[in-house]
């Protein structure tokens, strides 16, 4: 699914400079978010829940407040994040994006307190709470549901605060440390999950996006790549390209992943052997490449936290590793080395400009970058600093 902006949209005598339209996976308009988008963008007003006491009874009222245009735009971004979440979890939640008005308050509170704190800062979660309050109270205003009272727990804010601090401090995992981690793995799956961070640059949750059969039109599924691996037609290809859906990416930004021939071969062997044994044992199969090895849900698809748990398990077996390292640092290490390789030739001589190298890193990392603007995001520029740490650790002049 996606959203598109219509410039200077006009309906009857009303005009909206930037109207956000939300579309489902089949390109159909999602009506209720569109109504909110039109109302918010045109009026810059939101509704807040207020409880008053009258004749000994509590009465809920909706109070109108104005917001800035930039806040309205941020609210619509937050709404898009929720819609993508509902779209990806519709079978579990029992609601789809076209029925978003029926979602329960408890699901929304769980979303704010469990899902968002995994990746966002406290301030950003507060923004999401305000945005969802505005959206669902708008639906109450037009008679589509009751007003909501959303809240964020202290534990959720604490988790988000920890994540925020971790994002500010990024680390480089030495090549020897990565080798020892991978050597300690008990299963092929665990070894591959660590390599997805260290050799492909995946975030922990993005391991869920490796789909055996589901694919974007015109692109290859993982199974398609397996077939190409042994095909004479592709015998000269040393790196295979895979489209990672935005559904599984931070911020919903899709990107291409690149698997070296050797790594793809290991993935295929896992699929044909270790994974196949589990499918045979459980008599069920799933679209995701990696399966759950835990007691609960054995043989189902892995969770978003699986890769982080795998990393933590084997980190304990390599005592010389910094205890503060996490799975995400494998991704940072991969991108740092990519930046180094793009910047320098094997001889150590500079081969291209720093900005050109950073553009490659931004695209491979899935950071927001547009050719038209030509501006590399700040989140990518930090690899200039991390390169110095890498050189110090690896003893590179």
Q: For residues 148 and 199, state if they share a domain.
A: no
d(CA 89, CA 87): 6
- Pick the residue with more confidence: 355 or 176? 176
For residue 52, pLDDT over 80 is answered with no
> Which domain does 385 fall in, by range?
169-178+324-397
- Listed residue (145, 117, 123) closest to 133, CA to CA: 145
Q: For residues 19 and 159, state if they share a domain.
A: yes
Q: What is the mean pLDDT of residues 244-255?
A: 86
In which residue are the tokens 């559904």 written? Answer: 247
What residues does 53 pair with on adjacent strands? 58
pLDDT tens for each residue of 130-170: 999 999 999 999 999 998 989 999 988 888 777 655 555 56
Tell me the pTM. 0.59
Phi, psi torsion values for 109, nearest 5 degrees: -65, -40
d(CA 22, CA 24): 7
Alpha-carbon torsion 73, 74, 75, 80, what sign? positive
Question: What pLDDT is recorded for position 371?
Answer: 60
For residue 346, pLDDT over 50 is answered with no
- Listed residue (214, 175, 219, 210) closest to 289, CA to CA: 210
d(CA 255, CA 365): 8
Q: For residues 218 and 310, state if they share a domain.
A: yes
Q: For residues 21 and 156, state if they share a domain.
A: yes
- Listed residue (312, 317, 294, 330) closest to 183, CA to CA: 317
Q: For residues 214 and 302, state if they share a domain.
A: yes
In Å, how far are 138, 211, 297 from 2, measured between CA atoms? Answer: 22, 20, 31
Q: For residues 396 and 311, state if they share a domain.
A: no
How many helical (H) and strand (E) elements, i.e. helices and strands, does the chain have? 15, 6
Q: What is the mean pLDDT of residues 119-123?
A: 79
CB of 43 closer than 8 Å to CB of 19: no
Q: For residues 80 and 191, state if they share a domain.
A: no
The domain boundary residue, chosen from 121, 138, 166: 166
């Amino acid at each position: 699914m996606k959203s598109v902006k219509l410039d200077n949209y006009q309906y009857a005598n009303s005009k909206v400079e930037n109207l956000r339209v939300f579309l489902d996976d089949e390109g159909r308009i999602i009506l209720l978010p569109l109504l909110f988008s039109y109302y918010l963008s045109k009026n810059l007003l939101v509704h807040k829940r207020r409880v008053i006491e009258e004749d000994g009874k509590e009465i809920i009222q909706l109070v109108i407040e104005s917001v800035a245009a930039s806040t309205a735009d941020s609210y619509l971004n937050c709404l898009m994040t929720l819609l993508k979440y509902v779209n990806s979890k519709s079978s579990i939640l029992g609601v789809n994006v076209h029925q978003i008005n029926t979602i329960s308050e408890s699901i929304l509170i769980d979303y704010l307190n469990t899902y968002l704190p995994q990746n966002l800062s406290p301030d950003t979660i507060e923004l999401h709470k305000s945005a969802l309050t505005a959206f669902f109270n708008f639906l109450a205003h037009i008679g589509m549901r009751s007003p909501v009272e959303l809240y964020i727990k202290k534990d959720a804010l604490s988790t988000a605060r920890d994540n925020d601090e971790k994002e500010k401090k990024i680390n480089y995992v030495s090549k020897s440390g990565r080798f020892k981690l991978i050597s300690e793995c008990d299963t092929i799956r665990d070894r591959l999950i660590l390599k997805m961070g260290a050799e492909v640059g995946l975030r922990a949750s993005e391991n869920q996006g490796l789909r055996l059969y589901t694919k974007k039109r015109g692109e290859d599924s993982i199974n398609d790549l397996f077939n190409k691996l042994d095909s004479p037609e592709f015998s000269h290809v040393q790196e295979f390209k895979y489209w990672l859906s935005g559904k599984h990416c931070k911020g919903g930004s899709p990107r291409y992943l690149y698997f070296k021939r050797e790594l793809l071969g290991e993935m295929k062997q896992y699929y044909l052997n270790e994974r196949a044994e589990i499918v045979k044992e459980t008599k069920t199969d799933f679209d995701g490449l990696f399966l759950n090895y835990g007691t609960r849900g054995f043989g189902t698809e892995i969770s978003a936290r699986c890769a982080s748990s795998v990393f933590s398990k084997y980190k304990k077996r390599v005592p010389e590793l910094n205890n503060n390292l996490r799975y995400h640092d494998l991704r940072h290490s991969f991108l740092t080395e990519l930046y180094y390789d793009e910047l320098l030739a094997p001889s150590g001589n500079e081969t291209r400009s720093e900005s050109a190298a950073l553009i490659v890193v931004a695209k491979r990392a899935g950071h927001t970058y547009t050719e038209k603007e030509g501006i590399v995001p700040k989140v990518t520029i930090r690899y200039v600093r991390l390169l110095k740490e890498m050189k110090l650790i690896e003893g590179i002049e």
